[in-house]
Amino acid sequence: MIDPFGRTITYLRVSVTDRCDFRCVYCMAEEMTFLPKSELLTLEELDRVCSAFIRLGVKKLRLTGGEPLVRRNIMSLFRSLGRHTHGGALDELTLTTNGSQLARYAGELRGCGVRRVNVSVDTLDPAKFTEITRRGRLDVVLEGLAAAKAAGLAVKINTVALRGVNESELDDLVAWTGEQGFDLVFIEVMPMGDIGGESRLDQYLPLSIVRARLQRRWTLEETDYRTGGPARYVRVRETGRRLGFITPLTHNFCESCNRVRLTCTGTLFMCLGQEDAADLRTPLRQSESDAPLEAAIREAIDRKPKGHDFVIDRRHNRPAVSRHMSVTGG
Ligand code: SAM
Ligand code: SF4
């Protein structure tokens, strides 16, 4: 699949549920209305659509959400998708998770061909952790991380940099991930979805500032490591680990974008920061043959836009993209 700007699409991210056991302050409002379960693609349908993408050239598949591991019976989807990794059609099957269920599933995930997981941890302070996630427990997530390590999964920690919340701890997170043998990625707050009372402008902490502060303590060495995604990586000389920065408000990654995103209702977003989308549920349900589905996927890729329009709307203080990150998947 090659889009109109010559980019080869090899990476599919799938939000398997919009639900979550946490309510992170930058991601969701305290009271969320989730989709009725009847709107969701079934696990069998998700398998069909992922398999179609793999036939069309996707090499890397990430399940996300919401919280992917809270979807009932999700391991049956991992097991069935595992056949593509064991068969060699897929280079990587992975997930982004808040870690709350990892203690239970890490070993099984490894058995399904998963080799790496991204786990979101914004703070190492238990009280603050519960404040940010509104209902999560740090000790449970740390147990999940230990299980992931024991199962032989490589771990990358995602940390959203939040002004006045975890900004004083970012150094400690670099040290901790170094000790644990985890990579670390800092993420700038993105203006996605209504989150209730708080303002994204209050949360916004530019990573340029974060990076300058980290350089007082750590030696950050440039690398040419790229994932085709929005992260720019350096190596921390003192820990030997990779450290990434995701700055979505800048456009510096659109030209190498290799990915598209599917929601749990079967809507395909060709760009995280644009509203244009393609309905894949209808062609999926229209026929037992995958031909209409594959045609719809190709048509969608032909419309992939050049880049995004993220801006935190300072005058109206409203999100630039109305859907929540948990809908399209982070
Ligand atoms: N629940 C899983 C988790 O938290 O890792 C997967 C889904 S979550 C939407 C994926 C990633 O998006 C997480 O690392 C989260 O911190 C990040 N995220 C959510 N809302 C965001 C926002 N408004 N700006 C930047 N990152 C956000
Ligand atoms: Fe849930 Fe992840 Fe969003 Fe937090 S960031 S509310 S864990 S989906």
Q: Which amino acid is at 261?
A: R
Which H or E run includes 179? helix 170-180
Beta strand extents in the chain (DSSP E only): 11-15, 60-64, 92-97, 116-120, 154-160, 183-187, 220-222, 231-236, 242-246, 259-262, 267-269, 277-279
Torsion of CA 189, 120, 167, 150, to 10 degrees: -160
pLDDT tens-digit readout, 4-51: 999 999 999 999 999 999 999 999 999 999 999 999 999 999 999 999
Residue type present at position 70: V
Q: Classify residue 149 by burial, with Cβ atoms within 10 Å: 0-12, 13-18, 19+.
A: middle
Q: Model's pTM, two decimal places? A: 0.92
Report CA-CA distances (Å) from 126 to 66, 274, 290.
22, 36, 48
**CA distances to 96, 190, 236 from 115, in Å:** 12, 28, 23
Give 213 Cα–ligand 1 centroid separation in angstroms. Answer: 23
Question: Residue 132, CB half-sphere, CA atoms under 13 Å: how many?
Answer: 23
Q: What is the pLDDT of residue 53?
A: 98
Atom of ligand 2 nearest to the CA of 324: 3
pLDDT in the model for residue 251? 58
Which pLDDT band holds residue 277 (cuts at 50, 70, 90)? very high
Pairing of strands 242-246, 259-262: unpaired
pLDDT at 307: 82
- Confidence band, pLDDT 50/70/90 cuts, at residue 199: low
Q: Considering every ligand atom shown, identify the ligand nearest to the alpha carbon of residue 119 and give its number.
A: 1
Sequence ranges of the domains in the chain: 11-328
| Confidence (pLDDT) at 323 | 67
pLDDT of residue 224: 86
Q: Which CATH superfamily, name and number, covers 11-328? A: Aldolase class I (3.20.20.70)
Q: Which ligand 1 atom is at minimum distance from the Cα of 248? A: 25
As beta bridge partners, residue 2 has: 8
pLDDT at 314: 44
CA distance 241 to 238: 8
The pLDDT tens digits of the residues spanning 152-197 come to 999 999 999 999 999 999 999 999 999 999 999 999 987 666 666 6
- The half-sphere exposure of 75 on its side-chain side, counting CA atoms within 13 A, is 11
- Check whether 312 has a pLDDT greater than 80: no
CA 122 to ligand 1: nearest atom: 16
Q: What is the pLDDT of residue 83?
A: 96
Ligand nearest to the CA of residue 20, numbered in listed order: 2
- Segment 130-140 mean pLDDT: 97
How does pLDDT run across 202-249, given as a tens digit for each residue? 788 999 999 999 999 999 999 988 876 778 899 999 999 999 999 876
Query: Mind giving me the DSSP string for 98-129?
Result: -STTHHHHHHHHHHTT--EEEEE---S-HHHH
pLDDT at 261 > cutoff 50: yes
d(CA 138, CA 127) in angstroms, rounded, equals 8
pLDDT the model gives residue 247:
84
Site to probe by mutation for ligand 1, drawn from 34, 182, 195, 325 as the one with most ligand atoms within 8 Å of Cβ, is 325
Confidence tier at 318 by pLDDT (50, 70, 90): low
pLDDT tens for each residue of 66-96: 999 999 999 999 999 999 999 999 999 999 9
The alpha carbon of 295 and the centre of ligand 1 are apart by a number of angstroms equal to 31
pLDDT of residue 255: 83
Q: Measured from the CA of 136, which atom of ligand 2 is nearest?
A: 7
Nearest CA, atom 26, ligand 1: 189
The CA–CA distances, whole Å, from 193 to 28, 53, 119, 190, 245 equal 8, 27, 21, 9, 22
Write the DSSP string, 267-305.
EEES-TT---EEE-HHHHHH-SSSHHHHHHHHHHHTT--
